[in-house]
Structure 1
């Protein structure tokens, strides 16, 4: 009996050794997380909080920020026609570019899912524009393509058609940027293709036995089972569309013209911050954009319960 009690008695030394090992393991984990933590607090959270403070100040990047309360937000809401123009252009761009881009990406993914020969090569080629599409070089190329004497009008001239100056005409300039966005369909296409590969083949075989056509299979099987992927792509691409900057900056020369037809919200924010040195006002614009993106994301999640099916 004495031996049993002795064997089951607590061993403080062993417990302390175990706790020391746990602490060393946790310390090693936090040590490996240090670069990320420094980046998050130093490059993300810290600047965001500073920007929030600056949004309530009058700051020109050179002097000391002067606290003015909500004056920047009041001006945005009541006396800034440029803000209204930028919002109009950005919302129109999002409404046009996101659905068209997703529809085209889904179409290409459905075609590639047929098991065609050389599929890895086609996937790489279709994904390539997404890797380089937002670069300055591609934006410059796009500008040359749609200029008054660009390649598109030269091609139309072969058939006796005189095309407009696509990027200088306010009736067409925004649509050239929409076309550039659709051309960058590779990323959502890859995600759609991965989702299509997860749909069991026996579901389609059962539908074929029941006499369902290809169109019926798409609308009754493919699309409902793919709604989680559609939801993910829609949220990501909407956020990216709201943040679009480089194409509008390069193609319009940074002015947002002609007649503010390509004045994206981010481009207007850039002008206020680095052209007019109204950093406090630009910070207020940035936080309004954060709120808009958050509202659209929350709305997407709230609506997903009615059309996104996770149970298959």
Structure 2
């Protein structure tokens, strides 16, 4: 009994140095981690968060770039958003593009991932080939699609003519301008494909075997096993692609506004394009900042709705 009473304080005393060393080790690891991320953290605070706060301030002012001066404007810039018809036009074009592009990107990327998931030894070669378009600079991609989508001499219309179909004026007809940009967007869908492929690789094979023994066909297995098991990746891609589609700029600018040609169709006027024009062509930075914050609120709202809906459809491993 006495021996036990003496051993307890000794064990407690030996635990204290171990706990102290563990705390010191955790503290050193935390400091090292913060040091490693400090360049990014500093860049974020100065060039992202700081710029956001500054843009919020000047959105309530008439900002003059030449004199770097600002006059208070109150809510005038935000009231101008409602009265400017091009704001609603560009926002409508952007939302229409997002509704058209995101489902097609998801479908195309998932289809490619399913095909790659079935490939055997040569899977690495096909993954590399499918991912190469993602590595192509956007300017080069735009130059390629300017040739492909030429209404008179383009390769796409020549291919359609070979089977007796008269192709449209892709870049001139307002009805086909947004589908043309969607086609260019699908060129770089391989990043989304890789995420889907990784999710498909993590689906347990035994689930398919059990379902097949129960008589489930390929379509039933896809909707009952594959989609629920990759729903997390699906949700992530929908969120990311929606945000990217609402901020669409590069594709439309390079196809329609790069050479500053006057008279570009209103169908190609996206929100990001009009924001760019107000900021860097008209130098109306107060109004452009108000546009940027309206876009930020729209993206946050749509993302929150998607997150809320995901609670009913997304399956996670922790839900087991």
TM-score normalised to the size of structure 2?
Answer: 0.86
- Judge conservation of contact 1:59–1:65 (CA < 8 Å) in 2: yes
1:263 and 2:266 are equivalent in the alignment: no
Q: Partners of 2:32 and 2:263 in 1: how far apart? A: 54
Tell me the alpha carbon deviations over residues 242-281 of structure 1, each in whole angstroms, 9 at most, x when there is no partner. 1121110011125696431111111110000011110110
Corresponding position of 2:7: none
Which ranges in structure 2 are unaligned for 5 or more consecutive residues? 1-9
Corresponding position of 2:148: 145
Q: Partners of 2:227 and 2:99 in 1: how far apart? A: 21
TM-score normalised to the size of structure 1?
Answer: 0.88
1:105 and 2:109 are equivalent in the alignment: yes
CA distance change for structure 1 residues 20 and 125 in 2, over 3 Å: closer, same or farther? closer
> How far 1:109 moved relative to its partner?
0.9
> How far 1:22 moved relative to its partner?
8.3
1:191 and 2:195 are equivalent in the alignment: yes
Which ranges in structure 1 are unaligned for 5 or more consecutive residues? 1-6
Tell me the alpha carbon deviations over residues 21-77 of structure 1, each in whole angstroms, 9 at most, x when there is no partner. 988776555443331232011111111111111111111311311110111101102
2:186 pairs, out of 182, 187, 190, with 182
Secondary structure at 2:267 match in 1: coil
> How far 1:160 moved relative to its partner?
5.2
Correspondences of 1:143-182 after superposition (within 5 Å): 143-148=146-151, 149-159=153-163, 161-182=165-186
Count residues with an aligned counterpart: 304
1:283 pairs, out of 274, 283, 289, with 289
CA distance change for structure 1 residues 171 and 117 in 2, over 3 Å: closer, same or farther? same
CA distance change for structure 1 residues 161 and 304 in 2, over 3 Å: closer, same or farther? closer
1:65 and 2:65 are equivalent in the alignment: no
Q: Partners of 2:26 and 2:92 in 1: how far apart? A: 56
Corresponding position of 1:212: 216
Secondary structure at 2:171 match in 1: coil
Tell me the alpha carbon deviations over residues 179-206 of structure 1, each in whole angstroms, 9 at most, x when there is no partner. 1112221011111111111111111111
Secondary structure at 1:261 match in 2: helix
